[in-house]
């Protein structure tokens, strides 16, 4: 079998990768819907993979892996890798999890980010209200996550939140010391959320990036009695092209609150210092940024050797990203906690694909399915109407 074409289109805002072969088997990958601009980067790799056997996944990815980079640019390599696994599974007549070593669990736990309704404002009462909606949702989530501080509207909405200047511009541009008022506001919101959830629902907090060590330690120690799942991306995070492992280590050693990072990191190599140095208690790579499904599993295995938990990122990975996460996490060792439930950008996505369970999540869990490849396929006669002008031949 040989690769004959690599195609990419943007549906909604999600770049979709399609790899075509000379035996009529095709594979799909998806990129976060926050990155509609990476289509040219995907197509750049076509010259390197056409003519290769797609079932030799690692051999193909070795040709392109070193040409990627930290979020957002590793997403192109990652989506191609996922599409290769889709083809390999279909060619073998096996679900992708079988090719990744076989499943450890029949159901995978997921957690919910954001909720069902927007925040009314940045008050503790509004944060309590939104997590109450998450707690009582039909999916029965047993873990939820909310953004605070630099990962929320607090800097703009709370007067005198920081000693620095609140800037506008690219995502997560702000960084700096919090005032005592700002720090207390964050703590009050976290306390309100945990009080609303009670002990039966785990709470994770997305904090940054942008915290400095003194404030990060103060926050982590202040919330120790709440037994949070973790504090995420305090120092680095979305679109940070570095790891800052030693800074994370100082925060981690100062508190019993688990510290988490990893969604922006590309490749296993860049997790080595975090893991070997016990710099965090939880890692959360995204399969569509870290380099793909095999790379995600490698990080999980290495973290397990060091007693570090694995909770992958994935909230905007879409339906094919969701499928990849289900297969990869089914094979992970027992340090696996849950992955961030991947929502489609638009509800119409669930009408143009087949293979997803209905409902997808029950009691906070997704049943691992056994269909070949990723097990999710386009209903092409329904999907074509969402193709942008100029890409009408995407499925041909």
H-helix or E-strand containing 105? none
327 part of a folded domain: yes
Q: Could you give the CA distance from residue 382 to residue 186 in angstroms, rounded to a whole number?
A: 45
Which of 114-128, 177-191, 277-291, 378-392 comes out lowest in average pLDDT?
114-128
Contact 240, 215 (CB under 8 A): no
Average pLDDT score over residue span 41-56: 98
Whole-angstrom Cα distance, residue 310 to residue 129?
28
| Domain match, 275 and 302 both | yes
Predicted confidence (pLDDT) per residue in 135-191, tens digit: 999 999 999 999 999 999 999 999 999 999 999 888 889 999 999 999 999 999 999
Query: pLDDT, tens digit, for every residue of 207-224?
Result: 999 999 999 999 999 999
Looking at the structure, tell me whether residues 47 and 114 fall in a common domain: no
Q: How many CB atoms lie within 10 A of CB 330?
A: 24
Give domain status of residue 395, yes or no.
Answer: no
Task: Inform me whether the pLDDT recorded for 114 exceeds 90.
Answer: no
Q: What is the CATH number of the domain that holds 32?
A: 3.30.390.10
Same domain, 237 and 305: yes
pLDDT at 341 over 90: yes
**Integer CA distances (angstroms), 305 to 211, 245, 327, in order:** 29, 18, 21
The two structure tokens encoding residue 153: 């509207």
Let me know if residue 285 belongs to a domain.
yes
Within 8 A by CB and 6+ apart from 379, the residues are 351, 352, 353, 354
Largest CA distance in the chain: 64
Pairing of strands 107-113, 365-367: antiparallel
Which domain, by its residues, includes 55? Answer: 3-93+378-386
Pairing label, strands 353-354, 377-378:
antiparallel
- The answer to whether residue 358 scores a pLDDT higher than 90 is yes
Whether 301 and 152 map to the same domain: the answer is: yes
- 366: its two tokens: 């997704």
Q: What is the pLDDT of residue 310?
A: 99
- Does the residue 308 lie in any domain? yes
pLDDT in tens, 69-85: 999 999 999 999 999 99
131 and 226 in a single domain? The answer is: yes
Identify the CATH number of the domain in which residue 150 sits: 3.20.20.120
Q: Does the residue 25 lie in any domain?
A: yes
Q: Categorize the per-residue pLDDT at 339 as very low, low, confident or very high, splitting at 50, 70 and 90.
A: very high
**Structural domains of the chain, count:** 2
Whether residue 104 sits in one domain with residue 87 = no
Is 110 in the same domain as 83? no
Q: Are residues 185 and 249 in the same domain?
A: yes
pLDDT in tens, 278-333: 999 999 999 999 999 999 999 999 999 999 999 999 999 999 999 999 999 999 99
Q: Is residue 329 part of a domain?
A: yes
Q: Is residue 208 part of a domain?
A: yes
Q: Are 229 and 281 in contact (CB under 8 A)?
A: no
Residue 153 three-state SS: coil
Alpha helices (runs of H) in the chain, residue ranges in sequence order: 39-44, 46-49, 57-64, 74-92, 96-99, 124-135, 154-157, 180-197, 213-222, 245-253, 272-276, 287-290, 293-305, 318-330, 380-383
Residue 391 located in a structural domain: no
Are residues 251 and 111 part of one domain? yes
What confidence tens digit (pLDDT) does each residue in 128-145 have?
A: 999 999 999 999 999 999
Same-domain pairing of 58 and 136: no
Same domain, 185 and 80: no
DSSP alpha helix (H) spans, 5-45: 39-44
**Which pLDDT band holds residue 116 (cuts at 50, 70, 90)?**
confident
Q: Are residues 60 and 133 in the same domain?
A: no
CA distances from 180 to 36, 232, 233 (A): 39, 21, 21
């Amino acid at each position: 079998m040989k690769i004959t074409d690599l195609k990419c289109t943007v549906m909604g805002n999600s770049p979709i990768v399609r790899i075509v072969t000379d035996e009529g088997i095709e594979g799909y990958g998806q990129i976060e819907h926050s990155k509609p601009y990476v289509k040219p980067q995907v197509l750049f790799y076509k010259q390197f993979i056409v003519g290769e056997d797609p079932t030799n996944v690692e051999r193909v990815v070795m040709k392109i892996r070193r040409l990627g980079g930290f979020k957002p640019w590793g997403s192109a390599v990652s989506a191609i890798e996922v599409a290769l696994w889709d083809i390999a599974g279909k060619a073998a007549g096996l679900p992708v999890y079988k090719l990744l070593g076989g499943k450890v669990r029949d159901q995978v736990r997921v957690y919910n980010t954001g909720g069902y309704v927007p925040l009314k404002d940045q008050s503790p009462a509004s944060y309590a209200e939104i997590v109450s909606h998450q707690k009582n949702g039909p999916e029965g989530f047993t873990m939820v996550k909310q953004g605070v501080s630099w990962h929320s509207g607090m800097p703009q909405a709370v007067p005198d939140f920081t000693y620095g200047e609140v800037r506008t511009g690219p995502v997560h541009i702000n960084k700096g010391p919090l005032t005592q008022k700002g720090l207390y506001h964050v703590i009050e919101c976290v306390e309100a959320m945990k009080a609303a959830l009670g002990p039966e629902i785990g709470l994770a907090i997305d904090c940054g990036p942008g915290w400095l060590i003194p404030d990060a330690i103060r926050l982590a120690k202040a919330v120790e009695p709440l037994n949070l799942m973790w504090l995420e991306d305090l120092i680095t995070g979305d679109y940070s092209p570095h790891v800052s492992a030693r800074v994370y280590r100082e925060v981690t050693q100062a508190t019993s609150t688990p510290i988490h990072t990893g969604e922006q990191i590309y490749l296993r190599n860049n997790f080595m210092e975090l893991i070997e140095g016990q710099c965090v208690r939880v890692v959360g790579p995204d399969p569509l940024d870290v380099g793909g499904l095999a790379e995600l599993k490698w990080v999980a295995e290495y973290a397990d050797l060091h007693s570090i938990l694995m909770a992958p990122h994935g909230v905007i990975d879409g339906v094919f990203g969701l499928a990849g996460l289900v297969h990869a996490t089914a094979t992970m060792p027992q340090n696996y906690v849950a992955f961030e439930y991947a929502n489609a950008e638009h509800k119409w996505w669930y009408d143009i694909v087949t293979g997803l369970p209905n409902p997808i999540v029950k009691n906070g869990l997704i049943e691992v399915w056994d269909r070949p490849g990723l097990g999710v396929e386009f209903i092409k006669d329904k999907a074509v109407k969402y193709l942008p002008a100029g890409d009408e031949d995407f499925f041909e």
